[in-house]
Amino acid sequence: DQQVKQNSPSLSVQEGRISILNCDYTNSMFDYFLWYKKYPAEGPTFLISISSIKDKNEDGRFTVFLNKSAKHLSLHIVPSQPGDSAVYFCAAKGAGSYQLTFGKGTKLSVIP
């Protein structure tokens, strides 16, 4: 049973436009959510996170929105750049837990 779902395996966006990556979760005990970016044959790198007590967190071109009632979060990238082309993983953890539960990832392609 997948507790973190990224229903879009891939997404293509024109350079300069907004990229919106979506993530849904089922476990109401999750209290912290993270986005990771991964290039081929490399380890993921941390991008941005949000606590369950917030509904928005912004870092430069990256903004994460959390809708707790819908158990949904999204990552917005504005403006999108070709270097943003990568696989993006959504992850979640519960309070007091060491374990991150990852989604299957969304491959973003930013077209010049």
Partner 1 sequence: DGGITQSPKYLFRKEGQNVTLSCEQNLNHDAMYWYRQDPGQGLRLIYYSQIVNDFQKGDIAEGYSVSREKKESFPLTVTSAQKNPTAFYLCASSRAFSGNTGELFFGEGSRLTVL
Rounded least distance, CB 104 to partner 1, Å: 5
Among 1, 42, 53, 60, binds partner 1 (CB under 8 A): 42
Calpha distance 72→26 (Å, rounded) = 9
Q: Work out whether 62 is an interface residue with partner 1 (CB under 8 A).
A: no
Rounded least distance, CB 6 to partner 1, Å: 8
Among 60, 83, 98, 112, binds partner 1 (CB under 8 A): 98
Rounded least distance, CB 17 to partner 1, Å: 26
Give the CA dihedral 71, 98, 20, 109, nearest 10 degrees.
-140
